[in-house]
Copies of this chain bind each other. A is one copy, B any other.
Amino acid sequence: MQNQDTLQRLKTIDGHLRGIIRMVEDDAYCIDVIKQVQAVQAALNKVSEAILKDHLSSCVTTAIRGEDPNERARVLEEITDVFATSQKN
């Protein structure tokens, strides 16, 4: 997976996270820190969605249209797994 959009988003999020580290170093108000952490998490949700969308239309589609039943089962199980984890985050 090489994706300029994903890469750019992750770098922006990393800048955001480093900003939070400075906030904590500068003794910022707890609630302001928590709100910024939550903003980073929402931005990471968007990254996961974009990656999953690409993955479904590329790797998953190829595997399901292919003739290897194990490979088909594998890609589908991965989708269920990341969905299950997304509900717990």
Q: What residues make up the interface of A, taking CB atoms closer than 8 Å to B?
A: 1-3, 6-7, 10-11, 13-14, 17-18, 20-21, 24-25, 27-31, 33-35, 37-38, 40-42, 44-45, 47-49, 51-57, 59-61, 64-65, 72-73, 76, 78-89
Q: How many copies of this chain does one complex carry?
A: 4
Contact flag A38-B79 (CB < 8 Å), given A14-B17, A64-B64, A64-B65: no
- Known contacts A14-B14, A45-B89, A82-B38; is-contact A57 B30 (Cβ 8 Å): no
Q: Write the nearest CB–CB distance from A73 to chain B, whole angstroms.
A: 8
Given A41-B89, A53-B80, 14 other A-B residues pairs in contact with their CB atoms under 8 A: A2-B25, A6-B33, A7-B25, A10-B17, A10-B21, A30-B54, A31-B81, A33-B51, A34-B82, A35-B82, A37-B48, A48-B87, A56-B79, A87-B89
